[in-house]
A and B are shown apart, each in its own frame.
Chain A
Amino acid sequence: MQMNRREFLRASGAGLVGSSFVALGFSPTAAHAETRNYKLARTTETRSTCPYCSVSCGMLVYTLGDRAKNVKPAIVHVEGDPDNPVSRGSLCPKGAGVLDMINSPARIKYPAVREPGSKEWKRISWDEALDRIAKHMKADRDANFVTKNAAGVTVNRWPTTSFLICSSSSNESSYLSVKVARGLGMIGIDTQARV
């Protein structure tokens, strides 16, 4: 939006000069002095979706810090989003406590592995994690894949591995998840709907 001259004058720090307050003979000195006792603190409100269950309640997530400056943003407050058509501002006790999960020191933020015989979790990269999972899946599938049932009908089942899908997926990612899992022959597919 273009700023016209009048808006520029108003925005240019004239304060209360040029308002009905001064026009009525009041002194703006005290009000202007008051501004020196304060600074502005900035927060942002971001729409998000509760990660816990399939209801997928809308959330307003309050983040501190100016993204333009080199300040690490921190999430300080979470509220139900009153404009969400599903939850209309409500959260269940678990969702209302999501802030503690986000800021928890025990929160898992990267892949880790505890190898056979070891007591320690070892941090690994996403590439390593995905390779490792793929290898285990392939080995298990090769060993246990069922191509035909007792009657000799082709079934192509992989009965020994199951797949748990994220609860708050979009339609598209749910569709893709099911296609991938069924394509591999998996039978056990579930979502983390009310865990």
Chain B
Amino acid sequence: MSNRPTIPIKSAEEIARGGLADAPFFRWPEPSTVFAERQMRLTQLSNGHPMGEYLTLMADLARLQQKLLDEAPAITIPKTLDGVDAAAPPLAAVTLPRASWWRDALRHIADAMSASTQEATRSVLMSLRHESDDELERRADDLLGERLGTRDLAAAPFVAAALEVCWTHALTAWRATVEDEGALRATAAADLSRCPACGSRPTTSITRSVGTSGGHRYLHCSLCNGEWHRPRATCTCCGLTEGVSYQSLDAITNADTDADAERAARAPIQAETCDRCNHYLKILHTDRDAMLEAGADDLASITLDLLVLESGRIRHGRNLKLLYADEPASADEVANA
């Protein structure tokens, strides 16, 4: 991590003249590498991590996702789907008809992973392998509709992985039809706390510096891997700027010296908390650490989540590789936990 601020330095005349490009409103996923990069980063982070085995399992899952996306059947998606309102996300998670191959993708994941993993995981994958189409569709409906029950949690990352491939593929196909991100501006105007393409919650936010634009913050979609722009120092959930602050991890042994404090201000991963709506979303600073990858680093920075959740905040982000139940647990389930 560099100790110097990374600011694009220009002369005052150059700045006044303009000539600085507009940052794109939406960044499309790169289908040839999106999951491969996540796999690499998860593998790298798993070494010595308190959740190392889990990260390795998820790296393996990401590897399969890349393979499935590479081999996905060619599809065409019209600019506007029948019955979809212009102000609604065009590829909405809850309304877009799912291509049946997502179930084949899930069964492929279950087959490929069942040999290599531990007992509890293996039995989950075996039972997924034998579930009917209807049962799998119900799982997808619950997951995408954010109605995930506690009994479905174990299978959820695998179901989500297949759906994530499906939506990333759909977004790429849709991009070929619409050509640019202009088509998403209408839906974005409605609710910027969710993905303008598929209406899902973000996994995390991440800063991007490309060409002459530097440090713009994008929200990374948990389902379709698209990214949409949101201004910095603004709550990503309620859109207000008052009461936004940043929490980062600091070793407990550190005294409160100026050097420690300064390091905290430049931490590559911070939780952006809002005192108004009480939600938080992480921000990953790629100009402080170029290796950061949205899905992988969000998962591996769980310690930050746990401490921020302990302080009473609510997570706005959703990571499909570490899912929590959306439905309240029944009294029995709480007693058994």
Interface residues of chain A, those whose CB is within 8 Å of chain B, are 1, 3, 5-7, 9-11, 13, 15-21, 23-26, 30-47, 53-55, 57, 60, 62, 64-66, 74, 76-83, 86-94, 96, 194
Q: Is the CB of A45 within 8 A of B233?
A: yes
Interface residues of chain B, those whose CB is within 8 Å of chain A, are 5, 7-12, 14-16, 20-21, 23, 50-51, 53-54, 57, 118-121, 124, 150, 153-154, 156-157, 207, 212-217, 231-233, 237-238, 241, 244-252, 258, 260-262, 264-267, 270, 277-279, 302-303, 306-315, 321-329, 337
Q: Is the CB of A11 within 8 A of B314?
A: yes
Q: Is the CB of A40 within 8 A of B329?
A: no
- Alpha-carbon separation in the docked complex, A110 to B221 (Å): 50
Q: Which DSSP category, helix, strand, loop or mixed, fits chain B's interface?
A: mixed
Q: Which one of A6, A18, A23, A60 contacts B232 once the chains associate, using CB atoms below 8 Å?
A: A60
- Alpha-carbon separation in the docked complex, A40 to B233 (Å): 18
Q: Is the CB of B232 within 8 A of A55?
A: no
Q: Is the CB of B303 within 8 A of A31?
A: yes
Interface centre among A60, A87, A89 (most CB of B within 10 A): A89
- Alpha-carbon separation in the docked complex, A41 to B11 (Å): 35
Q: Which one of A10, A38, A43, A93 contacts B309 once the chains associate, using CB atoms below 8 Å?
A: A10
Q: Is the CB of A90 within 8 A of B15?
A: yes
Question: When A and B form their complex, what is the total count of cross-chain residue pairs whose Cβ atoms lie within 8 Å?
Answer: 222
Q: Which one of A6, A15, A20, A24 contacts B306 once the chains associate, using CB atoms below 8 Å?
A: A15
- Contacts A18-B325, A20-B322 hold; do A31 and B308 have CB atoms under 8 A apart? no
Q: Which one of A7, A10, A26, A38 contacts B252 once the chains associate, using CB atoms below 8 Å?
A: A38
Residues of A within 8 A of B314 (CB): 3, 7, 10-11
- Contacts A32-B306, A90-B214 hold; do A41 and B7 have CB atoms under 8 A apart? no
Closest CB in chain B relative to A10 CB, distance in Å = 6
Offer 28 A-B interface pairs, CB within 8 angstroms, sorted by A.
A17-B337, A20-B153, A20-B154, A24-B54, A24-B120, A24-B154, A24-B157, A31-B306, A40-B250, A40-B307, A41-B249, A41-B264, A44-B246, A45-B244, A45-B245, A47-B233, A47-B241, A55-B12, A57-B15, A76-B258, A76-B261, A82-B207, A82-B216, A87-B15, A88-B21, A89-B213, A89-B214, A96-B7
Q: Which one of A43, A47, A57 contacts B264 once the chains associate, using CB atoms below 8 Å?
A: A43
Residues of A within 8 A of B315 (CB): 10
Q: Is the CB of B7 within 8 A of A91?
A: yes
Q: Is the CB of A23 within 8 A of B309?
A: no
- Alpha-carbon separation in the docked complex, A16 to B309 (Å): 11
Q: Which one of A11, A32, A38, A88 contacts B20 once the chains associate, using CB atoms below 8 Å?
A: A88
Residues of A within 8 A of B322 (CB): 19-21
Q: Which residue of A lies closest to B208 (CB)?
A: A82
Residues of A within 8 A of B5 (CB): 77-79, 96
Residues of A within 8 A of B245 (CB): 42-45, 66
- Alpha-carbon separation in the docked complex, A80 to B12 (Å): 13
Closest CB in chain B relative to A47 CB, distance in Å = 6
Q: Which one of B10, B233, B241, B303 contacts A92 once the chains associate, using CB atoms below 8 Å?
A: B10
